[in-house]
């Protein structure tokens, strides 16, 4: 199972710590991590995953494998620029957002538009004009809670893929 970790590339220190612990916790459960492969939250999550023997995939915006941070096992070279954000969230069976800038916001939007579950740790709050804050992002209390919620949501999605395959086959 693959889970996506998204977040700011210019990470504030406490956000990077949260991301690193998310990476460790995913690896302890033998879950593969996919991210955008750059700095900040992405690097911290990959470092955490590798420290526990996990496997890390980077969906890179450019064409050079050495743009990936030092903790990436599989650099995927898209050359698509920011459009690669869509691939990051689609490849995860669930998405964990840690902190976040505007690129993260685009990833949250893509994920929610395609019914991919998003678990948030100190990330964006979204409010549509004249309504209470949107509840589509599942708020986690800490990295372990985020991973638990993400795994449960990802297992539900994998079962739905399985059912739709059985019914169509």
Using CB under 8 A as the criterion, which residues of the chain lie in contact with a copy of itself when the complex forms? 2, 32, 34, 57, 59, 63-66, 74-83, 85-87, 90-91, 93, 99-110, 112-114, 122-130, 136, 158, 161-162, 164-165
Q: How far apart are the first and last CA of the chain?
A: 23
Could you tell me the smallest distance in angstroms from the CB atom of residue 27 to a copy of itself? 15
Name the residue nearer to a copy of itself (CB basis): 114 or 156. Answer: 114
Q: What residues pair up with 98 in beta bridges, in sequence order? A: 7, 121
Could you tell me the smallest distance in angstroms from the CB atom of residue 116 to a copy of itself? 9
Give the whole-angstrom CA distance, residue 106 versus residue 32.
Answer: 22
Q: What backbone phi and psi angles, to 5 degrees, belong to 109? A: -60, -45
Could you tell me the smallest distance in angstroms from the CB atom of residue 87 to a copy of itself? 5
Name the residue nearer to a copy of itself (CB basis): 102 or 142. Answer: 102
Enumerate residues 6+ apart whose C-beta is below 8 A from 10.
Answer: 39, 40, 101
What is the enclosing helix (H) or strand (E) of 7? strand 2-7
Could you tell me the smallest distance in angstroms from the CB atom of residue 28 to a copy of itself? 19
Give the whole-angstrom CA distance, residue 71 versus residue 83.
Answer: 23
Tokens standing for 17?
């710590």
Name the residue nearer to a copy of itself (CB basis): 102 or 152. Answer: 102
Name the residue nearer to a copy of itself (CB basis): 15 or 147. Answer: 15
Could you tell me the smallest distance in angstroms from the CB atom of residue 155 to a copy of itself? 13
Eight-class DSSP state of 37: -
């Amino acid at each position: 199972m693959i889970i996506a970790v998204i977040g700011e590339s210019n990470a504030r220190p406490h956000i990077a710590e949260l991301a690193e612990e998310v990476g460790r916790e995913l690896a302890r459960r033998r879950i593969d991590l996919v991210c955008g492969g750059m700095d900040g939250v992405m690097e911290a999550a990959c470092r955490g995953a590798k420290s526990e023997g996990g496997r890390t995939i980077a969906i890179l915006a450019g064409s050079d494998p050495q743009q990936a941070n030092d903790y990436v096992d599989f650099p995927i070279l898209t050359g698509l620029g920011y459009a690669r954000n869509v691939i990051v969230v689609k490849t995860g069976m669930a998405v964990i957002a840690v902190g976040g800038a505007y690129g993260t916001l685009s990833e949250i939007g893509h994920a929610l538009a395609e019914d991919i579950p998003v678990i948030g740790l100190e990330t964006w709050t979204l409010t549509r004009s004249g309504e209470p804050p949107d509840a589509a992002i599942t708020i986690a209390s800490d990295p372990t809670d985020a991973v638990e919620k993400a795994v449960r949501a990802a297992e539900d999605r994998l079962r739905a893929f399985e059912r739709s395959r059985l019914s169509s086959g």
